[in-house]
Amino acid sequence: MTSPAGRAAPNSRFDAAALHRLGVVAVLGFASGLPLALTGQAMQAWLSGAGVDIATIGFLSLVGLPYTFKFLWAPLMDRFELPWLGRRRGWLVLTQLALAGALWWLAGTSPTATTRVFALLAVLVAFISASQDVVIDAYRTDLLHASERGLGSSLAVLGYRLAMILSGGVALIWVDPLQGGGWSWPEVYRFMAGVMVAAAAVSAFALPRLKFVAPPASVARRDVLGFVAVLAAVAFGVVASDRLGPPIARALLGPWLAGGALPAPLQAKWIELLALMLGVAFTLPLAAWAARAARFETLLGGLRSYFAQRGAAAFLAFIVLYKLGDAFAGSLMTPFLLQAMAYSTAEVGVVNKVIGLWLTIGGALIGGALMLRLGLWRALMLFGILQMLSNLGFWWLAVHGRGVLPGLTIPAFDWGFVKLVHATPVDGGLLLVIAWENLASGMGTAAFVAFLMSLCNQRFTATQFALLSAFASVGRVWVGPLAGVLAESIGWPVFFIVSTFLALPALVMLWWMRVAVRALEYDPGAPVADD
């Protein structure tokens, strides 16, 4: 029996080559996690500091859309080998250098003077980052032997979270004018561009090269034509939606808003939101039709294999819903803490991004250990309930404000790469709420990733995992516009109550699917689909 890379399966003892592979996986996890906050929480902090309103920040969360559609171009990165460096390493170096260039470009763009250009560049960063994730996921699967995959996955998550601590936590300390290094956000983004250049150098010179069997030319040609057809359909849908969506939304929603008390700018945001939803409802079916008409075979084959399993559509709906309440509350966490609660950037950086992410790692480890006893279904249910209840912590913070609970003071330090000029007081309520939320989220993520892995057919791992992880990111990306408009309309306390109730449908659905989920749990060795 051979591994995907074409080597004989090794025994369970780790030798120098295995340690090299595991180290590579940790570094790639770091490269994967670094850009995410730069189009998410860090970008929200930049926009908040620039005075951008909450509703606009919510709409700008849509720059993460490429993460939800990466399965469309994942087959192309599976099919084609770039010259000199090979298929996986070549695509890695290309995407990482492209990320460096896009981040440098974004650093020189004003989020207020040229908001549209800024948003388009952020979409470009997200697109390249999602493409890098496709390659890293596939390379990790091809590289690691079966006995190494458990530890390899943990190291990948560790690298991913460490990168988010740097780009989403340490960066907030850097930009604090009183406590940190006094950096500007453009300086932070240029530094991150340099980190991606270093990652490209590691990918070029330190990664093991894998064997690649080229597909038949006819199949490859159909995949290219299929992708072009899907891209053309999406472009047509976007243009048509941009022209027709706003007047249709205005006609549908205008009469309802005319007699209301909402100010005119907020009414316009609700109309924009409905226009966006109408555009999505038109564009997605159009893209699916184009893929079928152009015979995008690798994509269609992976989708057929996934949907051949019993309950596939229900599983997909559950994937979208399971993290929905969590994503809804977290979509505007940075502007909530910085603008509504008036915490300093250093305090948010230390608590929410550094301490919080370490607690997420701890929660994931605790969740993995508990799953050994609980099993998949009970872990998903228990951790899902904890995730839902953690949103009430933010409701409590929004109602009672800061200073209710005794806090602590983090002493001044200078570690070279990050420093606090003065001792920083940390609000006890903030620390408690962030600790609870991150531990619950970490445990939920551990069970959720195990669930996604159990659904993949090994013959289509790259395409199917890209599809499932794309649907898993729907909540994180798509709820932003609604969350921003809703938070301005109903206020933060009611907003967090709504986010709590949004977690209920997934738990009800999980109870309804308990037999199917337990089947995945008790029969892990069986093939997921029969093609």
DSSP string, 168-218: IIIHHHHT-TTTS----HHHHHHHHHHHHHHHHHHHHHTSPP----PPPHH
What is the number of other CB atoms lying within 10 angstroms of the CB of residue 527?
12
Q: CA-to-CA distance for 324 and 396, rounded, in angstroms?
A: 20
What separation in angstroms does the CA of 423 have from each of 235, 346, 408, 409, 508?
A: 52, 11, 10, 6, 46
pLDDT digits (tens, 9 = 90+) for 132-163: 988 887 787 777 775 666 566 667 777 887 88
426 φ, ψ to 5°?
A: -120, 125
- Token pair listed for 78: 């599976």
Identify the helix (H) or strand (E) that includes residue 408: strand 408-410
Identify the helix (H) or strand (E) that includes residue 420: strand 419-420
Q: What angle do CA 395, 397, 401 make, to 5 degrees?
A: 135
- Token pair listed for 497: 């109550």
Full-model pTM: 0.67
The segments of the chain whose pLDDT lies below 70 read 1-14, 78-81, 86-87, 146-154, 179-181, 210-220, 259-262, 265-266, 298, 302, 306, 352-354, 357, 364, 368, 415-419, 453, 456-465, 474-478, 480-481, 521-531
217, 459 contact by CB (below 8 A): no
Question: 452: number of CA atoms within 13 Å, CB side?
Answer: 23
472, 398 contact by CB (below 8 A): no
86 φ, ψ to 5°?
A: 90, 175
Burial category of 188 from C-beta neighbours within 10 Å (exposed 0-12, middle 13-18, buried 19 and up) = buried
What is the number of other CB atoms lying within 10 angstroms of the CB of residue 33?
25
* pLDDT of the residue at 527: 37
171, 42 contact by CB (below 8 A): yes
Q: CA-to-CA distance for 427 and 218, rounded, in angstroms?
A: 62
In the chain, the N- to C-terminal Cα span, in Å, equals: 22
| Closest CA relative to residue 298, chosen from 524, 138, 153 | 138
361, 158 contact by CB (below 8 A): yes
208, 20 contact by CB (below 8 A): yes
Q: What is the DSSP letter of 208?
A: P
| E strands, 325-377, in order | none
Query: In which residue are the tokens 């913070």 written?
Result: 397
448-452, long-range: CB within 8 Å, 24+ apart, which pairs?
A: 448/322, 448/323, 448/380, 448/472, 449/153, 450/371, 450/376, 450/379, 451/319, 451/376, 451/380, 451/517, 451/520, 452/319
What is the number of other CB atoms lying within 10 angstroms of the CB of residue 137?
20
User: Residue 39 carries which side chain, given as an amino acid letter?
Assistant: T
Please tell me whether residue 125 adopts helix, strand or coil conformation. helix
pLDDT digits (tens, 9 = 90+) for 96-116: 999 999 999 999 998 888 888
Task: Considering only CA atoms, give the Rg of the chain.
Answer: 23
CA 508 to chain centre: 24
Q: CA-to-CA distance for 429 and 347, rounded, in angstroms?
A: 12
Please tell me whether residue 456 adopts helix, strand or coil conformation. coil
- Token pair listed for 145: 């032997």
Calculate the CA dihedral of residues 261, 266, 268, 271 and round it to 10 degrees.
Answer: -80
Cβ neighbours of residue 220 under 8 Å, at least 6 residues apart? 79, 80, 214
Q: CA-to-CA distance for 313 and 309, rounded, in angstroms?
A: 9
Q: CA-to-CA distance for 68 and 207, rounded, in angstroms?
A: 28
* pLDDT of the residue at 395: 93
